[in-house]
A and B are shown apart, each in its own frame.
Chain A
């Protein structure tokens, strides 16, 4: 199986889907001539031309809405945001237009559109460029939200997203673009709504997604040295969320830590904890712990930034707490 970066896996998904279906097009800032701000769209302009790889002005609200309109008329737009921080300007189109169209039209108008781009903090980009938006987006009925952690999942989920007849939010990890991994060639579809156990274990479940999967895997290695067997569950999709996978793992380990890049208040972890307390209450041997970004805007200073982010050490410490080891 070929080894690809997360970036090239996304590129492969876009290329294959654009080859497969002429109604798929890519639109966003710097996607064409510049080859993508993060080079996800490298080579696509040359292969598919300017009609299908469309450079836009810096006008997120406007081009997101143009994507929604194009989907209303039968196309399958892939709208790239240079980062999800800038997509806040387009939330009206995502929430009020895309997510509502099928429902308020009484089922008449489908909305096959993908909104994608990097999400979460990178390095020393300070407050406005270091944010994780999944809890905002996963709140909205009418949307699907995926957040792949590996190159293979990035390819498989983006392909599924493009073929889906609903608006799908694809949250790419800004720090994951250079991550390498095995990626199946050709038709590789990861179903939306399915979590995956990325590491088997018996003592504690670490529930995570996107960049925090690698954080949790490192924590699991540290815990293994202390004779703790941690299971790592990668949610992969945040809406609809795979409740069965969460509950199956907790039934096995009786303990859970939820890890995310976002802030703690009303975060994804809060929803996961609700699922566990409701449907696995009797199986729990300890209260569920959460590891999140500190409840502050992201600072620029690298020491402060490190202190704000979820880390393997913080996750391992949380796991020891649910095991009453500290």
Chain B
């Protein structure tokens, strides 16, 4: 198998891991094992996988509250992510963050953040530090299209462009901010157009295709590493599930037909079919992979289930550093 084929198979595997992980998370949520808000990534797997597969381990990644997928691709063990969703002491944020605040500083996964658009300046800040320290890393920042209406987005793009910061602003345009269609609340519906206001490189990317996301991210990363130029990527994708676990898959704001239509472009099916056509894998290979991932995710649930709650004394730790 060529290196490229190996990469593509690895990407397929990562997407499948996210899909199966999220299915289990939905189950666990229904069983009451996960509390609070829980925003699933099903349908958007190609975005996290395509982009993060194109970056280096020492690059920074930061995301919103729909970040299970990025956390997994970044290499946080599924058990540590599931345990965090379960609020357990073995979770990647010690059970203090939950679904919306997954962190692993050792893997430079700098969080899940819960205020729409609030983390966009943080990404530029990490890029500022990279430049200050003379590094050649980049920082990638994930946010939804609804965050584009937030002031923080505009203030940050302006400064990132003025100061030539090595940051990739990756907008996951899944068309709905909770239950509000983007065109109902945005005067400019092509997110990519906003780059013009800030003299920034930009691309529209098919977010249902992991390979196009990979290529676009590579171009953006090269631009950032060479001259510290930021890029805005508008990655068009779709979430199959509701905004969070508390709302239905479709209903008042979108139709069942629309969701079904989108599923025809499923990112996992697309890449699997391509690799089968290229004879890189066959159905048996795919079935084995899926079975392995199922058991990996089952293990994650078992680990989360059996892990202890945080000690009561943890309530008062980590408020202030020494």
A residues in contact (CB < 8 Å) with B: 25, 51, 56-57, 59, 61-75, 77, 92-93, 96-97, 101-112, 141-142, 144, 165-166
Contacts and interface: CB of A to CB of B under 8 A. Distances in A.
Nearest to B158: A57
Contact of A109 (B110, B118, B125, B158): B110
B123 A96 contact: no
B14 interface: no
In the A-B complex, the 8 residue pairs with the closest CB atoms: A69-B125, A65-B121, A62-B155, A106-B94, A73-B129, A69-B122, A105-B103, A106-B93
Given A61-B121, A105-B97, A105-B103, A69 B159 contact: no
Best-buried of A56, A62, A112 by chain B (most CB within 10 Å): A62
Interface residues of B, number: 47
Nearest to A89: B151
A103 B111 CA distance: 12
B139 to A, nearest CB: 8
Interface of B is mostly: mixed
Given A66-B159, A75-B133, 7 more contacts: A65-B119, A66-B125, A73-B130, A107-B94, A108-B103, A112-B321, A144-B320
Nearest to A167: B320
Interface in B76-123: 91-97, 101, 103-105, 110-111, 113-115, 118-123
A156 to B, nearest CB: 20
Given A73-B60, A73-B130, A93-B118, A62 B152 contact: yes
- Which of A63, A70, A74, A109 gathers the greatest number of chain B CB atoms within 10 Å? A70
A105 B111 contact: yes
A106 B96 contact: yes
Given A66-B121, A106-B94, A72 B101 contact: no
A64 B121 contact: yes
B150 to A, nearest CB: 9
B97 A104 contact: yes
B155 A73 contact: no
A103 B319 contact: yes
Contact of A104 (B103, B125, B156, B159): B103
A64 B322 CA distance: 23
A77 B101 CA distance: 23
Contacts of B162: 57
Interface of B: 60, 62, 91-97, 101, 103-105, 110-111, 113-115, 118-130, 132-133, 139, 151-152, 155-156, 158-159, 162, 317-322
Contact of B115 (A92, A106, A109, A144): A92
A47 B17 CA distance: 53
Contacts of B115: 92, 96-97
Contact of B151 (A61, A96, A110, A166): A61
A74 B318 CA distance: 18
B156 A65 contact: yes
A25 B91 CA distance: 34
Contacts of A56: 159
B71 to A, nearest CB: 12
B161 to A, nearest CB: 11
Nearest to B96: A106
A63 B62 CA distance: 17
Contacts of B120: 65
A102 B139 CA distance: 20
8 contacts: A61-B121, A61-B151, A65-B124, A68-B122, A69-B125, A69-B139, A102-B321, A105-B97
